[in-house]
Homo-oligomer: A and B are copies of this chain.
Amino acid sequence: MLIQRFETNERSSQAVACNGFVFLAGQVARDAPNAPIDVQTRDALKRVDALLAKAGSDKTRLVSAVIWMADIREFPAMNAVWVDWLPSGGGPARAVIESRLAYPEFRVEIGIIAAAKP
């Protein structure tokens, strides 16, 4: 069984493809730290798109998502961006919960499992 890793450094890989699935590291708004939640969500999802493309999948093939939010009261604003981004009828099994994140400049972190393209 082949394991393919993408954007690997000493601590993690941003994406790992294995056995028909693509696993993404928790994605944050690298290009928009300290921005409002809608901007951060959009930026993190842009990263999700790029990583899925690298690893052989795309957003029509999401199977699971965990969304960690620094402040769950921002759920509606996050969710509006998510819904706008998500392909119609393509929703993954999702959980959204509040957790303090590793770096205070980020308000949302998105973990994804997708199916690899055939």
Q: Which residues of A contact B (CB under 8 A)?
A: 1, 3, 5, 8-16, 18-21, 23-26, 61, 63-66, 68, 72, 75, 79, 82-83, 86, 88-102, 109, 111, 113, 115-116, 118
18 A-B residue pairs with CB within 8 Å? A1-B20, A5-B90, A5-B91, A10-B83, A12-B65, A12-B94, A16-B92, A23-B63, A23-B93, A26-B96, A26-B97, A66-B111, A68-B95, A68-B97, A75-B102, A95-B109, A98-B100, A99-B99
User: How many angstroms between the C-alpha atoms of A111 and B113 in the bound complex?
Assistant: 14
User: How many angstroms between the C-alpha atoms of A23 and B98 in the bound complex?
Assistant: 21
Given A23-B92, A97-B68, A99-B98, CB of A79 within 8 Å of CB of B11: yes
